[in-house]
Structure 1
Amino acid sequence: MHWRTLTYFGDSMLLIPTAVIIALILPWKSDNRRTVWYWLLAFGLAGLLVSLSKILFLGFGIGSARFNFTGFSGHSAMSATLWPVMLWLVSGRWPPLLRLGAIAVGYLIPLMVGFSRLVIHAHSASEVATGLLLGFTLSSAFLLSQRRTALKGFSWPQIGVAFLVPLLLLGHGRKATTQQFLERFSADIAGLEKPFTRADLFRP
């Protein structure tokens, strides 16, 4: 399996445009006008908490050597926030069993993304586990808040259009520079020449 391709399902370059697509579709497909605001809150909160955890370490060295923790895995957290909701949305009028399977796939994708982060040594187990916990908590809270929301069905062409931008981005494979931005930003606000690294976490 090509783990770097799989890990791209958690990259901000793919997830942020997909989150915007969800926000644009929800007012059209949901009978609850608040649904889009709940979605923006869930996705925005995931991004905020991930960024804060990284800034605390990169700028101020706040982490845990015991648990090898330098901040939530952004790929894990953001994918766990987005994919269950995306699959819930497009399967809105499918038969119950098929819809349950689609949502299960939405939960499976982030688990695979998280595992890929371990395989390519991008994160520690604690960072992946807490990232997944954060994302799944937010996506599940969103889905529970929408249990009485009725969704309009998608035709297969509409499903194709909904996934068109994500598929194009996946094919392009360009990665977001979020980590590099956070490193520079964290060092600047902390007045450091360079950000803290994982090696610093284990330095006596």
Structure 2
Amino acid sequence: MTEVSWNLLTRLGEAQILLPAMLATLLWLSLRSHTPRAALVWGGCTAVSALVTTANKVAFFGWEMGYAPLNFTGISGHSMFAAAVLPVLVRVLVADAGPRLQRAAVLGGTALAALIAVSRVQVLAHSPSEALLGFILGLGTALLALRGMHVPRVHASRLLVYGVLAWMTLTVSDAPPSQTHSMVMRLSVALSGRDEPYTRWQMLRDYRHELQREGRPLPGYFTGPLVMGRMRVVE
């Protein structure tokens, strides 16, 4: 895939794109079913995972709680949201289909979420450990939601299906840059009382100095593109 393709794909994991599509589907699910249980289970599971992801990032930016051996600074929110939302979203949109198509929809949503997680590494936004953990957390959320919710066998209106598809297609290229990351950093600074948020490059600088003092080799990721492009910051 080209760099442009990865950049477009990675935007599908943004909360500002996924959450409106999810909320529209939750609203439809609540109105068309006899009980809001399905919507509450999916929304609740996703909210908990979003809280865990945010708390993890705040812990790093505000209190330096990362793990340098794996170049880990926090769970990838894009990977988490993609894996938590997409498999369930497409499953709900084919609620009146047969079991085989429903399973295929879940697998397709999961595969797309996995590609979004890979894209976070490709665009140098996250390390592999961060993208993988985000995907695992999100997929666990989706599976828990699918297990705990009863999706009513009702026909998804064309307006909902086409509206969700149009929203996600158009916003990938036209939506303004997401401000979620900067908001979390500001929150971290406010809660911790730091002057500035802790950074990946400070963590790697300190870890490298520690390894050099002990005469141990640097991990392989120090020669990878996520670090090599910004080595002057690590010095």
Q: Which residue of 1 aligns with 2:70?
A: 67
The amino acid across from 1:197 in the alignment is T
The amino acid across from 1:75 in the alignment is H
Is the partner of 1:203 in helix, strand or coil? helix
The amino acid across from 1:38 in the alignment is V
Matches within 5 A, 1:129-148: 129-146=132-149, 148=150
CA distance in 1, matches of 2:170, 2:31: 23
Whether 2:107 is the aligned partner of 1:104: answer yes
The amino acid across from 1:122 in the alignment is A
Q: Which residue of 1 aligns with 2:48?
A: 45
Instruction: After TM superposition, give the deviation of residue 159 of structure 1 in Å.
Output: 1.6
Which of 151, 154, 167 does residue 153 from structure 2 map onto?
151
Q: Give 5+ residue unaligned stretches, structure 1.
A: none
The amino acid across from 1:172 in the alignment is D
Whether 2:189 is the aligned partner of 1:169: answer no
CA distance in 2, matches of 1:6, 1:135: 17
Relative contact order (alpha carbons < 8 A, sep ≥ 6): 1 or 2 greater? 1
Whether 2:36 is the aligned partner of 1:33: answer yes
Is the partner of 1:193 in helix, strand or coil? coil
CA-to-partner distance for each residue in 1:130-166, whole Å, 9 max, x for gaps?
10110000110000112x5423012444421343333
Q: Which residue of 2 aligns with 1:6?
A: 9
Q: Is the 8 A contact 1:65 1:201 kept in 2?
A: yes
Q: Is the 8 A contact 1:31 1:149 kept in 2?
A: no
Instruction: After TM superposition, give the deviation of residue 28 of structure 1 in Å.
Output: 2.6
- RMSD across aligned C-alpha pairs, in angstroms? 1.6
Taking only the aligned residue pairs, the percentage that are identical comes to 27
Matches within 5 A, 1:177-196: 177-196=179-198
CA distance in 2, matches of 1:155, 1:37: 21
Instruction: After TM superposition, give the deviation of residue 123 of structure 1 in Å.
Output: 0.4
Q: Which residue of 1 aligns with 2:117?
A: 114
Is the partner of 1:107 in helix, strand or coil? helix
CA distance in 2, matches of 1:20, 1:149: 15
Instruction: After TM superposition, give the deviation of residue 101 of structure 1 in Å.
Output: 1.4
Q: Mean alpha-carbon deviation: is it higher for 93-102 or for 117-126?
A: 93-102
- Asked which structure has the greater CA Rg, the reply is 2
Equivalences, count: 203
The amino acid across from 1:170 in the alignment is V
- TM score, norm. by length of structure 2: 0.81
Is the partner of 1:153 in helix, strand or coil? coil
CA distance in 1, matches of 2:6, 2:30: 35
Is the partner of 2:82 in helix, strand or coil? helix
CA distance in 2, matches of 1:38, 1:32: 11
Q: Which residue of 1 aligns with 2:214?
A: none
CA distance in 2, matches of 1:33, 1:185: 33
Q: Is the 8 A contact 2:71 2:127 kept in 1?
A: yes
